[in-house]
Amino acid sequence: MHAMQISPVRVSRMCDGAVRRVTLSNADSRNVMNDGFFDAMEIALDGIPQLPSFDTKNPLPVAAVDHPFVVLIDADGPSFCAGFDLRECVEHAQSASRFVELLGALTWRIRSSATIVVASVQGAALAGGCALAASCDIVIASPKAKFGYPVHRIGISPAVSLPILARTLSGSASRMLALSGEVVSAAAALRMGLIHRVIEDEAALSSAAVEFAAALAKKGPRALLSTKMFLNRLDLTDDATAAGAATHASMGTAMHEECRTMLGSFWAARSNG
Amino acid sequence: MLVRATESNGVVTLTLNRPEARNALNLELMRALREAVERVASTPNVRVLILAGEGRSFCAGMDLKGVAADPVVMGSMLTELAETTLALRNVHCPTIAAVQGAAIGGGCGLMVVCDFAVTHADAKLGYPEVDLGISPAVVAPWLVRKIGAGRARAMLLMGGTMSGQAGLDAGLVTHLVAAELVQSTAVELAQRLITGGPKALAATKKWLNELDESYNREVVLQGARLSAEQIRSEEAQSRIRDRLKGV
């Protein structure tokens, strides 16, 4: 008998289709990122166009909005997203670099999409999970949420997240997060500007996130999307070349012998104890 | 006189003087303000500039009444707002916004472009433009420079307004005092600033402007063009009509 395949992502409609809710639903595996996850995210964002490039001669090319212009990403279980599926990375040598490439594509897709993306983070958002949250326009979280890039211990650089992280936070905060591997609390992430609101009553996070997305859906969609396009230009997160180069930098580390060795040791230590 | 200028010991105060409209920004008021700011900029012995508003509110934002549907006038107003903020940023000496009541939309933009802002805990601040179907792009560059891109992104996309206390927490405001002390605190701050070397202050401000690319005129004017385009859209026009009708 085959084990039932559970989709790692669940999609639902809210607010007459103005809001698309994308719920990471592989709670038992802490919503880890693997091929199935990235495929499901691609399908979840299907039909949402990309923002056009900023054109000084035509500053408002955002056409009529007939797609969901707010996306709410939340998650089942105690973790928002624990990053890459490390078992898969240990068992298949090419997986880590492929996941980095897919993560770079996903974060770019989110940042450059013609929709306002809200993340609701109830638990750990680590490594790729932190990169996912950072790529969203607005992040709300429970006091129990945790953020960070503890990836140097497995020989992978978080460079893939840096084009957004370094533009979102102060130089001091982005260097601390990207170089130390330290995991920070929701309160610290709020002080840094990585997240934007902490809902003190953790049981109320889900309903607060839904209310929040619904409130965004009442605003002018064209105004929202043109403002996002201009903000991407102002903070240079519309730079596809930088995003691509950063992805390649991380992929380079993920393909290196150092990563295979460190990842193997890390996994063995975790499995033993 | 739409903008009143007073001077005392090297401290110039420019006061928006349209209290009957809560100092809402129309073309005439912004032109008068820009001319006054440019006069200050060409007077090297001015040591501090205070920007204030007559009456209950510092500035209620752009005055859309009667002009929102006119794309030519709106385009001119948004360009003028962009030029006024650029002029304020270019002033050689420190600038202080003394904010009582409200600083909304373009008014919040004037506050944020200043080096310092003094207000009170229950003041009403913010950028509710997207609620009206308008884009705050014209003032976005100054907010990004003031509080960082991540916080600015959330603030501008969420719309709405916040209290003076929340403005302090977010970094929009530098000094929070009792409402009745806003003006006197701005003057005290100015007095403290003029004890510094004027050349040192001017050089420091110029360098900070270089570092955060405040001299990039084009990006502010691009923001003005984007805001002007958006306000022409039916999305914005219908929401503005409803707001002005009090719906």
Question: What tens digit of pLDDT does each residue of A59-109 get?
Answer: 555 566 778 899 999 999 999 999 999 999 999 989 999 999 999 999 999
Q: How many CB pairs (< 8 A) connect A and B?
A: 111
Terminal CA-CA length for chain B = 33
Task: Verify whether the Cβ–Cβ distance A226 to B135 is below 8 Å.
Answer: yes
Question: Residues with Cβ < 8 Å from A62, sequence gap 6 or more?
Answer: A51, A52, A114, A222, A225, A226, A229
Average pLDDT for chain A: 92
> Does the pLDDT value for residue A2 go beyond 60?
no
Q: Does A151 touch chain B (CB under 8 A)?
A: no
The structure's pTM equals 0.91
pLDDT score for A63: 63
| Dihedral (CA of B194, B196, B202, B205) sign | negative
What distance in Å separates residue B198's CA from the closest CA in chain A?
29
Nearest-Cα residue of chain A relative to residue B219? A234
Query: Two tokens at B142?
Result: 């100054």
pLDDT score for A1: 46
> Does the pLDDT value for residue A155 go beyond 80?
yes
Q: Using DSSP, state whether A236 is helix, strand or coil.
A: coil
| Contact assessment for residue A63 and residue B233, using Cβ atoms and an 8 Å cutoff | no
Rounded to whole angstroms, the Cα distance separating B185 from A46 reads: 54
Least confident span in A42-51, A55-64, A188-197: A55-64
Rounded to whole angstroms, the Cα distance separating B28 from B36 reads: 12
Strands B124-126 and B162-163: antiparallel
Terminal CA-CA length for chain A = 31
Q: What DSSP letter does each residue of chain B carry, written as one string?
A: --EEEEEETTEEEEEE--GGGTT-B-HHHHHHHHHHHHHHHT-TT--EEEEEESSS-SB--B--TTTTT-HHHHHHHHHHHHHHHHHHHH-SS-EEEE--SEEETHHHHHHHHSSEEEE-TT-EEE--GGGGT--GGGGHHHHHHHH-HHHHHHHHHH-S-EEHHHHHHHTS-SEE--GGGHHHHHHHHHHHHTTS-HHHHHHHHHHHHHHTTTT-HHHHHHHHHHHHHHHTSHHHHHHHHHHHHT-
Strands of the sheet with B124-126, listed across from one edge:
B102-104, B124-126, B162-163
pLDDT score for A26: 96
- How far lies A11's CA from each of A4, A7, A25, A136, B107, in Å? 19, 10, 10, 17, 41
Nearest-Cα residue of chain A relative to residue B136? A227
Task: Verify whether the Cβ–Cβ distance A226 to B226 is below 8 Å.
Answer: yes
Residues within 8 A of A (CB atoms), B 170-209 only: none
Q: What DSSP letter does each residue of B134-166 carry, written as one string?
A: --GGGGHHHHHHHH-HHHHHHHHHH-S-EEHHH
Query: Which residue type sits at A139?
Result: V
Question: Residues with Cβ < 8 Å from A239, sequence gap 6 or more?
Answer: A163
Rounded to whole angstroms, the Cα distance separating A251 from A72 reads: 28
Average pLDDT rounded to a whole number, residues A223-238: 94
Question: Which residues of chain A lie closer than 8 angstroms to B133, CB-CB?
Answer: 219-220, 222-223
The angle that helices B234-245 and A221-234 make with each other, rounded to 10 degrees, is 120
Average pLDDT rounded to a whole number, residues A121-143: 98
What are the residue ranges spanned by the domains of chain B?
A: 3-180
Per-residue pLDDT band for A3 (boundaries 50, 70, 90) equals low
Q: Choose, out of A231, A236, A237, A239, the residue to mutate when testing the contact with B (most B CBs < 10 Å).
A: A231
Query: Two tokens at B56?
Result: 């209950």
Q: Which CATH class is domain B3-180?
A: alpha beta
| Contact assessment for residue A25 and residue A79, using Cβ atoms and an 8 Å cutoff | no
Query: Which residue type sits at B244?
Result: L
> Does the pLDDT value for residue A47 go beyond 70?
yes
Query: CATH for A9-204+221-272?
Result: 3.90.226.10
Rounded to whole angstroms, the Cα distance separating B134 from B107 reads: 15
Q: Using DSSP, state whether A251 is helix, strand or coil.
A: helix
pLDDT score for A55: 72
Query: Two tokens at B29?
Result: 């008021």
- Lookup result for tokens 């033993």: A272
Of the candidates B137, B111, B117, the one whose C-alpha atom is nearest the C-alpha of residue B182 is: B117
pLDDT score for A56: 63
Of the candidates A139, A160, A130, the one whose C-alpha atom is nearest the C-alpha of residue A71 is: A139
Which stretches of chain B drop beneath a pLDDT of 50? none
Q: How does DSSP classify residue A94?
A: T
| Contact assessment for residue A227 and residue B233, using Cβ atoms and an 8 Å cutoff | no
What distance in Å separates residue B216's CA from the closest CA in chain A?
11
Question: Residues with Cβ < 8 Å from A27, sequence gap 6 or more?
Answer: A75, A76, A77, A78, A79
CA–chain centroid gap for A10, Å, is: 16
| Contact assessment for residue B43 and residue B87, using Cβ atoms and an 8 Å cutoff | no
- How far lies A233's CA from each of A1, A259, A270, B137, B231, in Å? 53, 34, 43, 11, 20
Of the candidates A73, A74, A75, the one whose C-alpha atom is nearest the C-alpha of residue A48 is: A73
Average pLDDT rounded to a whole number, residues A203-229: 94
Percent of chain A with pLDDT over 70: 95
Rounded to whole angstroms, the Cα distance separating B97 from A224 reads: 28
What distance in Å separates residue A266's CA from the closest CA in chain B?
33
**Number of other CB atoms surrounding residue A112 within 10 Å:** 20
